[in-house]
Amino acid sequence: MTEEMARARRLVGEAGRIVVLTGAGISAESGVPTFRGAGGLWKSHRSEELATPEAFARDPQTVWEWYSWRRGLIADCAPNRGHLALARLALGDTPTTIVTQNVDGLHTRAAHEAAGSAEPSPALPVEVHGAIDRDKCSACGARTPGTTSVDTSSHDSLPRCAACDGMLRPDVVWFGEALEPEILSRAFQVAQDADLCLVVGTSALVQPAASVPLATLQEGGLLIVVDLERTPLSGEAEVSLLGPAGELLPELLDVEPPT
């Protein structure tokens, strides 16, 4: 075990209250493409082309094609050892809240898997950017389980709201759209109350999510950054652990160090 890992494990052991902020990097080992990494989602499309209300108004078929493709891809993925280690931490003795930018639902699945027949709610994530497996009506705002196979062959074939016949959209937060106020304030509240923030697999470029760890710092708390490479938050970190989250998180968080 490296000196860095030993120091980080001590910080986790001594923490009174923990907040975790995750990004696409934690789901990479599950097969979900990241946004900026190799083969990243933003590589072939500029985010504003697809993840904005303007793009949806201009060309809903293409936007639905993209989200339908991502839904199919995510449906074939499963939580990895990183998701499960965080879920076990949150189900343990130290009060821990997982805040995620991911819309893939893998933290939620890890919470149920790790909890088994016990109560999973302590490990259920605060999803600040929504969830891809839900639909939301762009007219009345009604939320419904996501339409699995979206027929994008014509404008009229796109999914409609059963209540008001408005156009359905994925229940995710697009660029230029405000995050849900109560979800955002919960994310910043748990960050302020925490004395340790674990930042896992995020390039920390998208606001306001990237400022969540700063709320912990401003209250005198500490940061541990887990990423394949240095990120804009590495400079603020007490410890930076460089490597795959699926390998580092079990070593960092599991009570029994791996033999």
Instruction: Give me the active site residues, please.
Output: 129
Write out the two tokens for 148.
Answer: 């699995």
Residue 36 binds to ligand BV8 (criterion: CB under 6 A): yes
Quick note: the x/- pattern for ligand BV8 over 237-256, rule CB under 6 A, is -------xx-----------
Backbone Cα Rg of the chain? 19
Residue 34 binds to ligand BV8 (criterion: CB under 6 A): yes
Helices 81-90 and 245-253: crossing angle, nearest 10°? 30
Helices 106-115 and 81-90: crossing angle, nearest 10°? 60
Write out the two tokens for 88.
Answer: 């076990």
For residue 74, give the nearest of 148, 128, 182 by alpha carbon: 148
Residue 137 binds to Zn ion (criterion: CB under 5 A): yes
Residue 1 neighbours by CB under 8 Å, 6+ apart: 9, 251, 257
Secondary structure of residue 38 in the 3-state scheme: coil
Residue 252 interface partner, choices Zn ion, ligand BV8, none, CB cut-off 5-8 Å depending on type:
none
Residue 166 interface partner, choices Zn ion, ligand BV8, none, CB cut-off 5-8 Å depending on type:
Zn ion
Instruction: Provide the H-helix boundaries in 31-154.
Output: 41-44, 47-50, 53-58, 60-75, 81-90, 106-115
Residue 139 interface partner, choices ligand BV8, Zn ion, none, CB cut-off 5-8 Å depending on type:
Zn ion
Residue 163 binds to Zn ion (criterion: CB under 5 A): yes
Residue 45 binds to ligand BV8 (criterion: CB under 6 A): no
- Taking the complex as a whole, the smallest distance from the CB of residue 205 to ligand BV8 amounts, in Å, to 5
Position among 5, 77, 142, 206 found at the interface with ligand BV8 (CB under 6 A): 206
Position among 164, 177, 242, 257 found at the interface with Zn ion (CB under 5 A): 164
Residue 78 binds to ligand BV8 (criterion: CB under 6 A): no
Q: Is the peptide bond before 159 cis (omega within 30 degrees of 0)?
A: no
Residue 93: CB atoms within 10 A of its CB come to 6
Piece in contact with ligand BV8 (CB under 6 A), picked from 108-116, 138-146, 195-203, 250-258: 195-203
Please report, as ranges, the residues that interact with ligand BV8 according to CB under 6 A.
23-25, 28-29, 34-37, 40, 51, 101, 103, 129, 172-178, 201-203, 205-207, 209, 227-229, 231, 244-245
Please report, as ranges, the residues that interact with Zn ion according to CB under 5 A.
137, 139-140, 142, 161, 163-164, 166
